[in-house]
A and B are shown apart, each in its own frame.
Chain A
Amino acid sequence: MKLFNLIENEVIKMISKKRLLFVLAILIVLISVFAYGQNRTLERTKAQLAQRMGITATDDWRKLADQQLIEMKNRLDSPYMDEKRKSSLQVRKEQLQYDLDNNINPLEQSAAKFTTKFMEQSIFLFLPLLIIMLAADMVSGESTSGTIKLLLVRNVPRWKILLSKYLTLIILEVLVVCLAFVLSAIISGFFFGFGGWLAPVATGFKVLAGKLDSSSVFNVPQWQYSLMVYSLAFFVAIVVGSISLMISILVKSTAASIGIIMSTLVAGNFISYFLSDWKITRYMFMVNLRLTDYLAGSFQPVAGMNMLFSITVLLGWTIASLIVSFVYFTKQDILV
C-alpha cells in the first residue's frame, strides 16, 4: 500500500520534471530522421542498380545478390584482407547465400524490418543513453537539490524509498522500450508501408571458430523476431538502468553521474576494437550490450563470446549494482 504511494510519488516527479516528454521527443525526431534516411538510401540504391545493370532491384534481387556474392568471394580471396575482417565477411557471405537459397529478399524494406533494425542499432548506445537520462538523476538529483533529506526523515525505511525508485525506473524502462517499438512501427510505416510482420527472418546462427554455423538456422516470422529483439532491449535497459542508479547513488552530483556512465558507454564501443586481445574486456558490461547481434548472426568483436555468456555477464553486473546500491543507500550518512 505504502510502496504503491511511493511509486506514485516517483512517477509524478518524473512527469513533472518533463524528462519523459524529452525522451519521447528525442525518439520521434530520431526515428523520423532514421526512417527518412533509410528511404533515401533505398531509393538511391534502386536508381543505381537500374542505371548500372538495367534492372529494377525489387524485381530481380537475386541477380544483385549473386553479384554481391561474387564480390565478397573476390574480396575474401584477396591476400590483402586481414584475418579478422575476413571471418566477418565470411559470415555475411554465408548469410546472403542462405537468403538466396531460401528466397528471402535482403533489400526489401518494411515497417517491421525497420522497427527491428532500429532497435538493433540502438541497443548498445542510443537506448542506454535514453535510460541514463531517466535514471542518472533519480537519486543524485535529490542529493543536489537537498530534497533527499525530506525523503529520508519520514517514517519509511530507506530500502523502501530506494525500492520505489527502482520499481519506478523499471516501469519507465518498459515504457521507453514500448514507445520505441510503437513509434518506429508507425513512423516507418509512412515510408515503407505498415506490413511485413509475417515475413520470415532467419535466426539461430552460431559462430564457431570464426565460421558461421548455419546448421541450426531456422526461420521465424518477423513479429516474433522483433519481439525477441525488443525483449533483449528491455533486458539491456534494466542492466543500464541498474548501473546508472548505482552511480547516481555513489556520485552525489547529477552532472558527474551522467558524465561517468556516458563516457563508460562510449568507451565500451571502441574498447572492443582496440583491446580485443585483452581477455578481461569481455567482462565489461558495455562490450556485452549488442545482444541482438547474436540473433542476427553477426560476428562478435571479442572472440569466444556468445549469448549465454553476455547475458550472464550483464546479469552479474545488475545484481552487483543492486547490492551496492541498497547497501550504500541504507548505510550512508546524508551530509548535503
Chain B
Amino acid sequence: MQQTTVLELTNLRKTIKGKPIVKGVNLTLYPSQIFGFLGPNGAGKTTTIRMIVGLIKPTEGSVTICGYSVATDFIKALSNVGCIIESPDMYKYLTGMENLLQFAAMDKQISRQRIKDVVDMVGLQHRVNDKVSTYSLGMRQRLGIAQAIMARPKLLILDEPTNGLDPAGITEFRNLVRKLAYEEGMTVFVSSHLLLEIEQMCDVVSIIKQGTVIKTANVHEIVHNNRIEWQLNDPEKAIALLKEHWNITAIQLKKNTISADVNEHPLAKINELFIHAGIALTYCSTKQNTLEDLFLDLTEGDEIV
C-alpha cells in the first residue's frame, strides 16, 4: 500500500494567527486518479494545497508524497510534484519560453524537446515567444500548466485551474487533464469551487467546508443530475400525486415550485398525470446541482457561512 499511494495527508491542521483554517484533513490519492477538491472560497483549499507543496508548514499532521515526507524529505517529495497555486503568476517581463527555461534550469531532466512538446500540448506554440505581460489570463493559465507538467511529475496539483479560460479552453483543458492522467499516469489534484467542473473532470471528490472534509466519495455518488423542478399552481396536490403514483418524495421549494429526484421514471408520464389531474404546469426542467444544494444535502440544512 505504501508504494501505491501518491499523496497522503494525515490529520493536517493549520492555525494562522489563532484562527484554525484547516482542521484535520485526511486524504489518500492513488496513481492515475483525478481527484477533485471541492469547496467554497475560504474553505481552506488553497491553505491545504500550500501545505502539500511545502509553502507553509502544517501546525499539526503530515504530508507524504510518493512515500517521502514533505517536512523531512522536501527535495525528494517535491521532485514528484508539479503545481499551479492560486493564480498562474509568471515573470511578466520575460517571454513564455524564457519563463519555461527558468524553471527547466532548476531541473536537470528537462530537455529542450520536452519544453517544445509541452508548449504544443497546451496549445501555446504561436505565442510562446511573446512577453507574458501581453498574455491573457487564459494564456497565462496554459503557461502555468506547461510549467507544472514539464518535469513529468507523478502528482499534478492545479488550484482553480479553469479560472479565466473560455468554454473552448475549458473543454480542451479537461481533455488535457484526462490525457495526462491516463496516458502519462499522473495523479491530478484539482481544486475548485465549481461543482460542474469537478463533476466533468474528476473520478473522486472530497468536499471541504470550513477547514473540514465533510465527504469523500466517487463523483457519481455525490452529484446527481436527475433532479427535476416543476412550476405549477397546486404544489400540495402534485406532491401527493407523485407519492401516490410513483412513490417519489418531492419537496416544495417556493410557493409554486416543487422538486424531486426522478430516476428511471419517464418524466413525460408524470407531466401527463399532472395535466390530467387539472394542475396547470407552467415550467419543468432538470435542475443542475449547485454547490449550495450539495452542501444543504450533506449538512442537512445546517447554516452555510
Chain A positions near chain B (C-beta within 8 angstroms): 1-2, 5-6, 8-9, 12-13, 16-18, 145-147, 149-150, 152-157, 331, 333-335
B161, chain A: closest CB distance, angstroms: 15
Chain B interface: which size bin? 20 to 34
Judge whether B89 and A155 touch: CB under 8 Å: no
**Chain A binder among B72-80, B170-178, B221-229:** B72-80
**Chain A binder among B4-12, B53-61, B115-123, B259-267:** B53-61
Is there a chain A Cβ closer than 8 Å to B102's Cβ?
A: yes
CB neighbors of A among B62-109 (8 A): 74-76, 78-79, 81, 83, 85-87, 89-94, 98, 102-103, 105-108
A18 to B79, CA, bound (A): 33
Judge whether A150 and B103 touch: CB under 8 Å: yes
Is there a chain A Cβ closer than 8 Å to B50's Cβ?
A: yes
Select which of B74, B81, B93 is within 8 A of A17 by beta carbon: B93
> Which residue on A lies nearest to B144, using beta carbons?
A150
B107, chain A: closest CB distance, angstroms: 7
Is there a chain A Cβ closer than 8 Å to B212's Cβ?
A: no
Is there a chain A Cβ closer than 8 Å to B147's Cβ?
A: yes
Judge whether B107 and A153 touch: CB under 8 Å: no
Judge whether B105 and A334 touch: CB under 8 Å: no
B135, chain A: closest CB distance, angstroms: 14
Judge whether A153 and B94 touch: CB under 8 Å: no
CB-defined contacts of A2 to chain B, threshold 8 Å: 106, 108
A335 to B102, CA, bound (A): 22
CB-defined contacts of A331 to chain B, threshold 8 Å: 57
A-B contact count (CB 8 A): 77
Select which of B57, B89, B90, B105 is within 8 A of A333 by beta carbon: B57
Given contacts A155-B79, A333-B57, 15 further A-B contacts (CB under 8 A): A6-B105, A9-B105, A12-B102, A13-B91, A13-B93, A146-B86, A147-B90, A149-B85, A152-B54, A152-B55, A154-B106, A154-B107, A155-B75, A333-B16, A333-B50
Judge whether B89 and A149 touch: CB under 8 Å: yes
> Which residue on A lies nearest to B87, using beta carbons?
A146
A141 to B197, CA, bound (A): 33
> Which residue on B lies nearest to A331, using beta carbons?
B57
14 contacts between A and B (CB under 8 A): A9-B106, A12-B94, A12-B102, A13-B91, A16-B94, A145-B91, A149-B55, A150-B90, A152-B54, A153-B78, A155-B76, A157-B74, A331-B57, A335-B56
Judge whether A150 and B89 touch: CB under 8 Å: yes
Judge whether A5 and B105 touch: CB under 8 Å: yes
> Which residue on A lies nearest to B14, using beta carbons?
A333
CB-defined contacts of B108 to chain A, threshold 8 Å: 1-2
> Which residue on B lies nearest to A13, using beta carbons?
B91
A333 to B92, CA, bound (A): 24
Judge whether A150 and B147 touch: CB under 8 Å: yes
CB-defined contacts of A18 to chain B, threshold 8 Å: 93
CB-defined contacts of A9 to chain B, threshold 8 Å: 102, 105-106
CB-defined contacts of B90 to chain A, threshold 8 Å: 147, 150
Judge whether B75 and A156 touch: CB under 8 Å: yes
Max chain A C-beta neighbours (<10 A), residue from B57, B85, B87, B89: B89
* Given contacts A5-B105, A5-B106, A334 and B78 within 8 Å (CB-CB): no
A5 to B94, CA, bound (A): 17
Max chain B C-beta neighbours (<10 A), residue from A1, A18, A150: A150
Closest 3 CB pairs of A and B: A146-B89, A333-B56, A334-B55
B151, chain A: closest CB distance, angstroms: 8
B80, chain A: closest CB distance, angstroms: 9
B143, chain A: closest CB distance, angstroms: 11
CB-defined contacts of B89 to chain A, threshold 8 Å: 145-147, 149-150
Judge whether B93 and A153 touch: CB under 8 Å: no
A13 to B85, CA, bound (A): 21
A15, chain B: closest CB distance, angstroms: 10
Judge whether A153 and B54 touch: CB under 8 Å: yes
A2 to B105, CA, bound (A): 8
